[in-house]
Chains A and B, each alone.
Chain A
């Protein structure tokens, strides 16, 4: 035993170099291929968005964003996002609490069902809501009687966005809360805190970064959703066009600068999302590390 340890200490360095590192030429070939691939598929498409948006100068680009229909689309996208993200956040917290803190029958099935919207094609999502609320859908005639329009109107767009972004927060929180366990909550309850007090003062602070991470992913998807929204929208300019739908319309009208200006706006949003995501991953890793060494008392609060 001692012999092997010694051997590793003395000759370990040179050995491990030969055993686990690739020769320099392989390294550089692989890095080159990776760089080329990332360049063609990630960097160039991004650069192209801005290149095309500013192809006719800054003023043309910013001017096209001030178009009333584009502004209406911005408002609709903001509305759909502001409704769907909070709803799915509350759901995500409730679902994660349920799945991470309790044992019950059918838990595995429930977890799979929550992921379901990820595997449904966006167009199918849209179709499903048309079948429910469209004029020829299950509730269509009844809704029509009361003059409520869901399909080809704003409510349909909001509903489709909720469906598509449904799993994001739950998916982030479930593994995090499972890793954290429930010792701290039990301690708080033992000390006489009520359930809600425990949730607000113990659980929520310890999951805040993971929660924010899920909310950001959810927001990015809500803003960018295309297929599902496209089916239920009806494409009424200035009324039921979201920003991504507006891009499609402008592109079809060969208004390249306007289409790419909106695309550039959304690309900036995507880059911001990436930046925040990287930063939060960092924080979340610390949260998880804290959870794993949970015997240490948390220094916050």
Chain B
């Protein structure tokens, strides 16, 4: 078909085929279904939409979702940086295993994560019973949601940071040290600024993932504080489609913004790396 083109050696064959296939499949599976959500929601008037999206229960769910996701992402940013640093910079027994385990939350089904975390942190569980002695309740409280979201988000920060840490030129640190900077100053003034874009990328990825997370959270969430995906689920169960759609659109729009943020951050980070 495109023999004339392939003979020109400049352009490989298959442009039309791969473009057509990619666009068709993308449209059928992703774009048209998502467009349907916006189309259905547009049947609501602006006032109706606002009323649902800003109802007391919806706002309460945003508060739980974004609050817990934010706290979990902050903890992941700090602990992820520490983990990445330890894995890349230090040599100690078990380092390879630790490195491999980081991806465990990616590989484990979220329902399994939720089930085991809820059990672990329940007052009868291996960890919960000790925490209970000091009066800390984790499972079936908002801290439980945060614990689940920390688990889900660990790999994001570590995996965004690792390549950057591995690429850091040790000579820059040597230079800082030989010019009299203390190790602490070297870290805060030289290393940290280089890592910052990757930390922010990892933070945003973990945050974005945490906002939409459902599977692990429902096992450990308290009955009273519901996250936004749970609210959508309840609305659907009541066949209150407008209620589910309007809140879903709010979530989608926020996710899109986060996706764009992550893309911009990655571009910024790659400029730093060169």
Residues of A within 8 A of B (CB): 15-16, 18-20, 22-23, 26-27, 30-31, 33-35, 37-38, 40-46, 48-49, 51-52, 91, 94-95, 97-98, 101-102, 104, 110, 112-124, 126-132, 136-138, 159, 162-163, 166, 182, 185-186, 189-190, 195, 198-199, 217, 220, 223-227, 230-231, 243-245, 247-248, 251, 256, 259-260, 263, 266-267, 270-271, 273-275, 277-278
Contact = CB atoms under 8 A, between A and B. Distances in A.
Contacts of A166: 29-30
How would you classify the secondary structure of chain B's contact residues: helix, strand, loop or mixed?
helix
Contact of B119 (A52, A114, A227): A52
A209 B102 CA distance: 21
B125 interface: yes
A275 B149 CA distance: 24
Given A37-B79, A42-B101, A123 B229 contact: yes
Contact of B214 (A30, A43, A189, A227): A227
B259 to A, nearest CB: 4
Interface stretch (B44-52, B171-179, B195-203): B171-179
B70 interface: no
A217 to B, nearest CB: 8
B108 A48 contact: no
B101 A43 contact: yes
A119 B111 contact: no
B259 A115 contact: yes
Contacts of B233: 123, 230-231
B79 A195 contact: no
A237 B208 CA distance: 32
A37 to B, nearest CB: 5
A30 B86 contact: yes
Contacts of B105: 42
B12 A182 contact: yes
B151 A45 contact: yes
Nearest to A256: B119
11 contacts: A20-B177, A34-B79, A37-B83, A97-B14, A123-B230, A127-B244, A131-B33, A230-B214, A251-B219, A270-B109, A273-B107
Given A42-B105, A113-B30, 11 more contacts: A19-B176, A38-B83, A91-B25, A95-B26, A119-B208, A119-B256, A198-B13, A226-B111, A231-B236, A244-B215, A277-B103
Contacts of A117: 30
A245 B109 CA distance: 11
A163 B26 CA distance: 10
Contact of A31 (B22, B92, B214, B239): B92
A191 B8 CA distance: 13
Nearest to A91: B25
A33 B110 CA distance: 25
Interface string B241-265: 1001100100110011011100100
Contacts of A104: 15, 19
A101 B244 CA distance: 41
A248 B11 CA distance: 52
A266 B173 CA distance: 44
Contact of B106 (A126, A182, A186, A220): A220
Contact of A20 (B92, B108, B170): B170
Among B85, B117, B174, max chain A CB count under 10 A is at B174
Contact of A119 (B22, B82, B212): B212
8 smallest CB-CB distances across A and B, nearest first, come from A224-B109, A19-B177, A121-B212, A226-B215, A195-B13, A227-B214, A244-B111, A270-B107
Contacts of B13: 189, 195, 198
Contact of A244 (B110, B177, B258): B110
Contacts of B110: 224, 226-227, 244
A256 B116 CA distance: 10
A188 to B, nearest CB: 10
Contacts of A118: 259
How would you classify the secondary structure of chain A's contact residues: helix, strand, loop or mixed?
helix
A124 B212 contact: yes
B211 interface: yes
A120 B34 contact: yes
B109 A259 contact: no
Contacts of A136: 239, 241
Nearest to B41: A131
A137 B218 CA distance: 27
A138 B212 contact: no
A278 B100 CA distance: 7
Contact of B116 (A19, A31, A48, A248): A48
B33 A45 contact: no
Contacts of A98: 15, 18-19, 22
Contacts of A226: 109-111, 214-215
Contact of B31 (A31, A97, A113): A113
Given A91-B22, A122-B229, A163-B33, A45 B116 contact: yes
Contacts of B137: none
B113 interface: yes
A274 B107 contact: yes
